[in-house]
Structure 1
Amino acid sequence: MMSDQITGTTASDIADSVRALRERGVLRPGSVLPPVRELAATLGVNRNTAVAAYRQLAQAGLVVSRGRAGTVVAGLETVAQEGYAPDTVLRDIGTGNPDPRLIPDPAPALMTIASRPVLYGEPVIDRGLEEWARDWMSGDLTDVDFRITVTSGAVDAVERLLAQALMRDDAVALEDPCFLASIHTVRLGGYRAVAVPVDSQGMTVDGLKAALEAGVRAVICTPRAQNPTGASLTAARAAELRAVLAEHPYVLIIEDDHFSMLSQRPYESLIGPEHRRFALVRSVSKFLGPDMCLAIAATDAETADRLGMRLSPGTTWVSHLLQRLALTQLTDASVMAEVADAASHYAERNTAFAELLRDSGIAATASDGLSLWVEFPLPARAIAERLMRRGWLARTGDDFALDERAEPSHHLRLTVHDLSDDDAATLVADLVAAAR
């Protein structure tokens, strides 16, 4: 029995014993540790001592609690990533990428940005970008006081926001199905993901209530164009969620409004006027390009101070050249016209493809975002395998599930906005054939 190999009479000794067994290879990633009561009885210690030992191991990232499945030895868990598959001969319809032809050319802006060197000790936020960002955010955050911080993209912002507020093994509420980067960030940080189901109106009220009862210390929500479903919060749903969160003002709310300027839906927020810990994060990656690696976070003052400590001059601030480049494009009327055209293009192409699917007998609705979330009568993996034989590489809903033991998904996330009319018609025919 595993409990016979673990030794110690104090929490620290027990944790050290488990660590030593892991380092010697006796315990491998995925190995299930003895239940607390069993271990305590075997070692002749109080149950609370065993609990404390497991907590120390969890905070060190050495074990992970799986609820009823027990406590297991942690490993380097792989998480599916966004992007295209460079080594495939198949047509990739699972990328989740914007169309590169619709990303404004930065060359004209590069020729005009100021070249004054920035030195150590100077403000980490470009003043011009800060003023522009404050005006942009204040149009939506009308009832709360906020401060602006600039980070190296939305994922960087979320990672820093969680790090400044949480400890390992703290619980975080995530949408289910969930954005791949959020899954990866939470797992890498050693936090516990608590799933909150998403329907056509966004995060569900009952799901959020259950997550708060489970003790989550942070909630990550996508207010519109939720990835992968495309759902956006309605005004009614947002009001219900704010009412629930009003009783938990110190739970950190992180809103990842990644589709902001491209969205066809109004912004609705979980952040109430009395909420004490919040962050609205908007990156420029979907409309100015993923390689821009820049996001703007509007947060409460304390969160801004903590973020500022993690963005110290000389180490981790965002390049002022990059900030000036973003500002130059964001204040250029011709660039903003290109962004507006791109927004219309994504909406029109997704709507047209959804209509083709419906005309062919497959229920589909174009919501918001770069992709479509389509349900099929068969498990999605079977559909994807059949599509591969027809020359398509699709992404199944299984990649976006928080619970790896969940029932097989019946959804595909399809990125089709860059298909020609002929290719779109061919794909629809192949989807119909694959779904038989």
Structure 2
Amino acid sequence: MTKTVDLLWLSSQINDASVKGIAQAASTLIREGHIAVGMQMPAVRELAEVLGVSPATVSAAWGQLKKQKVLAGKGRSGVWVSGNTVMPRPIRFEKIGNYGDNIRADLAMASPDPALLPDLQLALQAAIQSPQLNSYYREAISLQLLNAVKPRWPYSAEAFLATDGGFDAMNLVVQTLISPGDRVIIEDPTATRLLDMLDNVGAEILPLSCDHEGPQPDALATLLEKAPVMVIYQPRTHSATGHNISRERRRALAQVLANSSTLIVEDDGIGDLSVEAGWSLGAIYPERTIHVRSFSKAYGPDLRLAVLSATSEMVKRIQAWRNFGVSWTSRILQDAVAWMLESASVQQDIAVARETYRQRREKLLRALASRGLELEARDGLSIYIPVVSEQFAMITLAARGIAVLPGERCRLGPTQFIRVSIASINEQQLDMIANALVIASGREISLGADL
């Protein structure tokens, strides 16, 4: 018979009855062997009563440990210890890329084509002339980068912060401004790592449904009734679906948000590769908007650079938390990006890259359409393909040596889809890829297709 952890003993080991405190105390007891793998945890309601907290608090604590694969189970079967290695991990993100050795076309990661990135030599030569080079002065953003981004920013922001890439910026926001149990609205689907980040801090995720114009205003209005602390969305060129938010939808979202005090966080991950000009609700709600723009995909992943804007108070809070670690982003990288933003030749390179990606995207869309699979032309480094079954699609494509991203990595709802990168697609493989994608979608190939 499975042994149950003694209720009164466990409660005596918990000194902080918050979500974080309960999770930390339990994880320490499990890691140190005081609670063995296989043991049953006390009933949620009973532990909550002894601790003097709501059952939801204990459930949220157990939820954190379930995501770390330490606890398992729910409902009448109860919760038991399933592992003793407690380590926060981006589980969704880590699953991307493990497709075996027989892959001929890896279309899972929507990474920029290295051949279309600007040459960094002149930019780095200019950057090493930084007047603050090798100083330990903790400035939020270099003067050169600040002067370069301000004229291009979509609203007049109060304060700016340079970070080590877009996901670093988003993680700083999440770690600083969200507490365990806080409710956070986020688009469904969204970027894989954003879901991992929210899971890691123990947020309650409220999925926001989207269509081809962006987040749906009625759905947002309903979710705002649950008093979330934050809403996160991608203002242009969505990483999973490729949609850009239409001007009418922007106005509708702004109207819905008018009657709330919820923080607005905008994740502009594709940056200058988007066909749309930058925009922000910060133009309307500057006091509660955080706008993040990444420069990695357009200018170079190894630059690891993004810029965040917010109020001075929010930037100070984020910077204070950041001081536990690196404190500031390399001025060499900041000033290299600043130089490229003001270089006419680099901006021409970016325009060429944007056009090349458009051509590659449209070639694949035409190949699919000729086989009976008509898809809407959107934007970005990938295309979104609805499928009957993601599992069938992944198995079908893997058997043909093709890897793509399954929707489950970046969605919360039931909609089945795959994301297919076009960034570095091999045109010689185009027919093979198109045929496989149509079959994987659950449709029959049109008889007119070139087989």
Whether 1:209 and 2:221 are equivalent positions in the alignment is: yes
- Once the two structures are TM-superposed, the CA of residue 87 in structure 1 deviates from its matched residue by 6.2
5+ long unaligned stretches in structure 2? 445-451
**Equivalent residue of 1:322, what SS?**
helix
Partner residue of 1:344 out of 307, 330, 355: 355
Equivalent residues of 1:84, 1:94 under 8 A apart: yes
2:186 to 163, 170, 174: 174
- SS of the aligned residue for 2:146 comes to helix
How many residue pairs align between the two structures? 419
What's the CA shift for 1:12? 3.9
Asked whether the equivalents of residues 362 and 377 of structure 2 are also in contact (C-alpha less than 8 Å), the reply is yes
Contact 2:5-2:42 at 8 Å conserved across structures:
no
Q: TM-score, normalised by structure 2?
A: 0.82
Q: Which residue of 2 aligns with 1:353?
A: 364
Structure 1 position 88 matched with structure 2 position 101: yes
1:284-339 per-residue CA deviation (whole Å, 9 max, x = no partner) reads 11111111111011212221222232344994200111111111222111111000
Q: In 2, distance between residues paired with 1:347 and 1:242?
A: 30
- Does structure 1 residue 135 correspond to structure 2 residue 135? no
Q: What secondary structure does 1:223 align onto?
A: coil
1:225-374 matches, within 5 Å, as: 225-249=237-261, 251-271=262-282, 273-274=284-285, 276-312=287-323, 315-374=326-385
Identity of aligned residues (%): 24
Superposition deviation, residue 267 in structure 1: 3.7
Between 116-125 and 25-34, the greater mean CA deviation after superposition: 25-34
Identify which of 29, 44, 58 aligns with 1:54: 58
Distance 1:167 1:399 in 2: 24
Structure 2 Cα separation of the partners of residues 130 and 32 of structure 1: 53
Q: Distance in 2 between matches of 1:122 and 1:5?
A: 50
SS at match of 1:231: coil
Q: Conserved in 2, the CA contact under 8 Å of 1:224 and 1:368?
A: no
Residue 432 (structure 1) shift:
3.0
Q: State the AA in 2 paired with 1:330.
A: L
8 Å CA contact 1:153, 1:283 repeated in 2 = yes
Q: TM-score when scaled to structure 1?
A: 0.84
Q: CA distance change for structure 1 residues 29 and 412 in 2, over 3 Å: closer, same or farther?
A: farther
The one-letter amino acid paired with 1:134 is K
Q: Does 1:410 align with 2:416?
A: yes
What root-mean-square deviation, in Å, do the aligned CA atoms of Structure 1 and Structure 2 show?
Answer: 3.4
CA offsets 1:40-98 (integer angstroms, 9 cap, x no match): 6xx6x58x535486289479x5577x9x9669678745223497569633120111111
What letter corresponds to residue 147 of structure 2 in structure 1? E
Partner SS for 1:423: helix
Structure 1 unaligned regions, length at least 5: none
Provide the rounded CA distance (Å) in 1 between the counterparts of 2:193 and 2:328. Answer: 21
CA separation in 2, counterparts of 1:215 and 1:419? 44
Q: For 2:393 and 2:205, locate their aligned partners in 1 and report how far apart those are by CA, in whole Å.
A: 28
What are the superposed Cα offsets for residues 187-239 of structure 1, whole Å, 9 maximum, x if unpaired? 22232222111211111223322332223211111011112111111111111
Given candidates 131, 135, 138, the residue that maps to 1:119 is 135
The offset of 1:421, in angstroms, is 3.3
- Residue aligned with 1:128, SS: helix
